[in-house]
Amino acid sequence: MPALFRPASLYLLTSYLLISSLPFFPLLQGQPVEKPFHLLALGLVTWLGFWALLQRPRWFHYLLLPAFFAVPVEVYLRLYFGQGISTHHLGIMLETSPKEAMEFLGNKVWLLLLLVIGVTTWWWSLLRVAKAHSHWHWTHRSRWLVLLVIALSLLCWAYGEEIGVTPAPASSSVSAVSAVDNDTEASASAAASASSSGNASADILTQWWSSLKKHLPALPSWAKIPYDEETYIRTWPFGLVLRANDFWIERDYLAKLSEKSRAFRFQAHLDGNPETPQTIIMVIGESSRFDRWSLNGYERDTNPLLKQESNLVSFSDVVTAVSATRLSVPIIVSRKPAAQSLKAGFSEKSFLTAFKEAGFKTYWLSNQMSFGQFDTPTSVFAKEADVTQFLNLGGFTNSSNLDQVLLEPMANAMRDASPKKLIVLHTLGNHWNYSHRHPQSFDKWKPSLFGVVNPAYTDLKNKQALNNSYDNSILYTDWMLSEVIQKLKASSQITSLFYISDHGQTLYDGTCNLAFHGHNTQYEFHIPAFMWYSDAYQEHFPDKIVQLRLHQKARLSTENVFHSLLDMANIRYPDEKLEWSILSKQLKTHTRYVDSYGWTNYDNATLKGDCREVMDKKTPLVQEK
């Protein structure tokens, strides 16, 4: 029997093939794989280059150990969440403490231990095969030819990236533009946002190279190397290196943003007895629009539970400055002015730090992402909390954990012995895909998109189903928020809750052919917000409740949240602005700017067409980025 076909050799080859085929796992689930042949070619070329460079499997097998440990994670995520390991998942794995991991895993920790033992055994048995069989050693001079071809290809690719490529002949095909998540339209790479300064010699070299590039010819289109990072990052096991690199870039960017506010202090203190037990819940919603809540007059009963709460005050006129999560959340959690929301970072910290200074133990429990091009700005503030947990194992557009995953960690936080607690719940709320935001029991209005794989969201034939699914997700949000309130009611502490959505959604309203967000419409700027308070809170702060109800119809924005939340807890600080607090008799109206063709004055604007585009009657302010 030829050496290559012996059981041990086949075992080695089959194992490497299995790991390399993980990007094609969706085929087993009846789902398509994007650019399959391109993916296969990139993986094969990398394997050849790897093998040719190191010659012997025993040398590169050591480097594959992290990939072997990542295999069970990849399979789990693809089975239950329809996606592979991402920058966010690496963040969870590398930044979760052993104690938090044990709490999260519970009785599944033994299964994890068995997996670790099994994977280690698998990797070690392959190492023994690689050491014992020399027929896999690539000593033939053909390896030099392979290395030369790969090196030349890399040089061509690098040349094309730096100098440019001659445009190919015009094609008649037209590419479609996705509109699923317009957060992507609103920003450039987070890593690119972090500026750096070089020394004089580096500047001279940069100028010299820029001058030289102008005289170099572009790479012919026929010589362009068919490589793209989005495809390569999906290869296994080599794409994991790029994913890890993305994680470290995001981590570095987060550190740079945090550095801007590292020494900042509010000098906040509690005006009251620090031993009086009190819990405040701050819920940050996602993609929820004001007029789809029956609490606010919607004809469908999307809030059957919240409407039963007599101690709940829903605000009728709250707007967000920007219809993108990564830009709107910083305005909600800090004193960052709306007109600065397009700028990266902020020199101050969030209300989490103010609460900590006043003696509160703080929690940030999130069903959103921790790392990624559009999530890191929020993570900067989340890291200020005493306890930070990111629980989203799926994503935004794919299946993910439902928001109820936050209930148990919240209950654990409430049982903490600390008398004063602030718990932030960052929900996935009503983010697309709407039918993935709730279980089947909430699929009330039909036809809906529940159970539909990859629905054609741009097809207006699905307009009714899309809207029904959105309303179903609001119905689930109602249940979720009611569950939080019931837990607060059951507590003997002074409790209260503040809810606000980061932005709304446009949903093919009337003759409007726009959907989702990023379109400058009133549907995206006008958001739901409310405060709930316990009887004990009302007894303790009767004057605040009087003001709260008086201001129910006041003109408010996300800029009011920071000041109102601190006032809710009776936290004071030297430069406080009670004129921005919903619970203060000093509340005053302020100019509400929204990101619509510049900074538009929302209260001095007209609403254009069925899309209700917000158009300033005067000239909008110029935006600084």
Which position has the token pair 């001279």? 204
Give the per-residue pLDDT at 12.
87
pLDDT tens-digit series, residues 246-287: 878 777 877 777 787 888 999 999 999 999 999 999 999 999
Residue 192: band (very low, low, confident or very high) from pLDDT cuts 50, 70, 90: very low
Strands (E), 453-553: 494-501, 506-507, 515-516, 526-527, 529-533
Give percent of the chain above pLDDT 90. 54
CA distance 601 to 424: 30
Residue 77 tokens, joined: 């995520």
Give the per-residue pLDDT at 623.
84
* CA-based torsion, 288, 290, 295, 300: positive or negative: negative
Give the per-residue pLDDT at 183.
43
CA distance 404 to 442: 13
Give the per-residue pLDDT at 193.
40
CA distance 12 to 8: 6
Given a cut of 70, is residue 105 above it in pLDDT? no
The CATH number of the domain covering residues in 268-616 = 3.40.720.10
> First CA to last CA across the chain, in angstroms?
68
Which of 56-70, 78-92, 496-510 ranks highest by mean pLDDT? 496-510
CA distance 392 to 237: 23
Given a cut of 70, is residue 444 above it in pLDDT? yes
Give the per-residue pLDDT at 248.
80
Give the per-residue pLDDT at 108.
63
pTM summary value: 0.75
Alpha-carbon radius of gyration of the chain = 27
Given a cut of 80, is residue 470 above it in pLDDT? yes
Give the per-residue pLDDT at 172.
40
**85 against 480, higher pLDDT:** 480
Which position has the token pair 């403490």? 97
For the stretch 206-214, contacts whose Cβ atoms lie closer than 8 Å and that sit 24 or more positions apart, written own/partner, are 213/162, 213/163
Residue 182 tokens, joined: 């317009």
CA distance 509 to 205: 54
**89 against 506, higher pLDDT:** 506
What are the residue boundaries of the structural domains of the chain, listed by start? 1-166+216-259, 268-616
Average pLDDT in the 16-30 region? 89
Given a cut of 70, is residue 28 above it in pLDDT? yes
Mean pLDDT of all residues belonging to the chain: 86
Residue 614: band (very low, low, confident or very high) from pLDDT cuts 50, 70, 90: very high
Residue 521 tokens, joined: 């419409």
State phi, psi for 21 to the nearest 5 degrees. Answer: -90, 0
CA distances from 104 to 70, 193, 234, 412, 437 (A): 18, 34, 28, 11, 21
- Residue among 30, 151, 38, 124 at smallest CA distance from 82: 30
Residue 372: band (very low, low, confident or very high) from pLDDT cuts 50, 70, 90: low
* 285-322 as b/e: b if 16+ CB within 10 A: bbbbbbebbbbbebeeebbebbbebebbbbbebbbbbb
* CA-based torsion, 582, 586, 591, 595: positive or negative: negative
pLDDT tens-digit series, residues 553-578: 999 999 999 999 999 999 999 999 99
Give the per-residue pLDDT at 195.
40
Give the per-residue pLDDT at 168.
65
Give the per-residue pLDDT at 625.
67
Residue 213: band (very low, low, confident or very high) from pLDDT cuts 50, 70, 90: confident
